[in-house]
Chain A
Amino acid sequence: AQKITQTQPGMFVQEKEAVTLDCTYDTSDPSYGLFWYKQPSSGEMIFLIYQGSYDQQNATEGRYSLNFQKARKSANLVISASQLGDSAMYFCAMREGNRDDKIIFGKGTRLHILP
């Protein structure tokens, strides 16, 4: 079974609109961490935001926020006021437990921002 599911292979959004990228996860461990990464066409993976399973509040980093719904095992990324530079591949990822060796990545969502 997939640990991280990103159901949107591709999305087209008008510039300046808000964007929600979906991510659901599967784990039985009560302690885990969730990450979002951005991969522009250059290929580099850029860390965007982190949410711990015990964090009481949703994580925010500038225009990025993580809509963490623990009961639904959902960790959607919200980008406010999208910009052309937001066009990229976005990956959701999870660290299970307190293991420091592995992060499991989803298959990604390609986001296209339209002018």
Chain B
Amino acid sequence: SQTIHQWPATLVQPVGSPLSLECTVEGTSNPNLYWYRQAAGRGLQLLFYSVGIGQISSEVPQNLSASRPQDRQFILSSKKLLLSDSGFYLCAWSVPKQGRGFVGTQYFGPGTRLLVL
């Protein structure tokens, strides 16, 4: 069965410090991978998605970046954190498009709570 891991679970960082959040998926090959951010009590905002190694699409221009160095590894980074970067970061994976009957369900990791002070 497939599992998705995120770490760290919680992170407190000062403004201006760098960030690296990691997400790994097990039990599947060539998954689509996604990074979302959720502000407190709000909906999900798609930040980045990737359909393959080295292929990253950005949804929101900001001081965050994403990388996919390996098939099942997705990293969210920042060189200098802002107060507004605080939130709950969720990684998700889905099976790539398979033609007719494609569903596209996304499965989420446990998330990382980031507090920037």
Contact = CB atoms under 8 A, between A and B. Distances in A.
A37 B106 CA distance: 10
A103 B110 CA distance: 18
B27 to A, nearest CB: 16
B43 A91 contact: yes
Contacts of A103: 104, 106
A43 B91 CA distance: 12
The prevalent SS among residues of A at the interface is loop
B113 A43 contact: yes
A52 to B, nearest CB: 7
Contacts of A105: 43-44
Interface in B49-71: 49, 51, 57
B104 A47 contact: no
A102 B46 contact: yes
Nearest to A35: B105
B57 A101 contact: yes
B7 interface: no
Given A91-B43, A107-B43, A98 B97 contact: yes
Contacts of B32: 100-101
Contact of B88 (A33, A43, A100): A43
29 contacts: A35-B105, A35-B106, A37-B108, A43-B111, A43-B113, A44-B110, A45-B44, A45-B108, A47-B106, A50-B103, A50-B105, A52-B101, A91-B44, A98-B97, A99-B97, A99-B104, A100-B94, A101-B32, A101-B49, A101-B57, A102-B46, A102-B49, A103-B104, A103-B106, A105-B43, A105-B44, A107-B42, A107-B43, A108-B43
Interface of B: 32, 42-44, 46, 49, 51, 57, 88, 90, 92, 94, 96-97, 101-111, 113
Interface of A: 33, 35, 37, 42-47, 50, 52, 91, 95, 98-103, 105-108
